[in-house]
Homo-oligomer: A and B are copies of this chain.
């Protein structure tokens, strides 16, 4: 995950190498599920001149190149991560907002059931499933959610 590594990745995908692109890839490797704003904020110290619109444009370029993907998690807008990461399903906590990842294999049963019922082929890696993380589920002061689980267990 050195700067040189990112140069190779960019070149391999036919992208020009720029300071901004390497910095943004570095941020993606370092942060968990950053929003556009989070990436920009994270790089404020290292690259003070980095413009928010450049972050948007760069993410778009990196995504087109297949280096990066995004998922829609909650109202906070899309979050980005490296395409090379092991594909994972995003669990978004309705209480604290944290995002937990699980291997897409956990969704194998769902995929089979959905395919049988509707012919729909799901892409777990692109998806967000909402719910309550272990801590928030234990917190009875939170609104409705945890008190009335839809599925037993």
Contact = CB atoms under 8 A, between A and B. Distances in A.
Interface of A: 72, 74-75, 78, 87, 91, 93-94, 100, 102, 104-115, 117-134, 137, 145-146, 149-151, 153
A78 to B, nearest CB: 7
A93 B74 CA distance: 17
Given A125-B150, A128-B72, A134 B119 contact: yes
Contacts of A106: 110, 113-114, 117
Nearest to A119: B134
A118 B100 contact: yes
A36 to B, nearest CB: 13
Given A78-B75, A151-B104, A153-B115, A91 B109 contact: no
A149 B121 contact: yes
Contact of A150 (B87, B109, B131, B150): B87
Given A91-B118, A104-B150, A124-B150, 5 more contacts: A72-B72, A72-B128, A120-B132, A124-B151, A127-B131
11 contacts: A72-B75, A91-B120, A100-B118, A102-B120, A106-B114, A106-B117, A115-B153, A119-B133, A120-B132, A123-B130, A123-B150
Nearest to A146: B121
A128 B131 contact: no
Nearest to A136: B121
Nearest to A110: B110
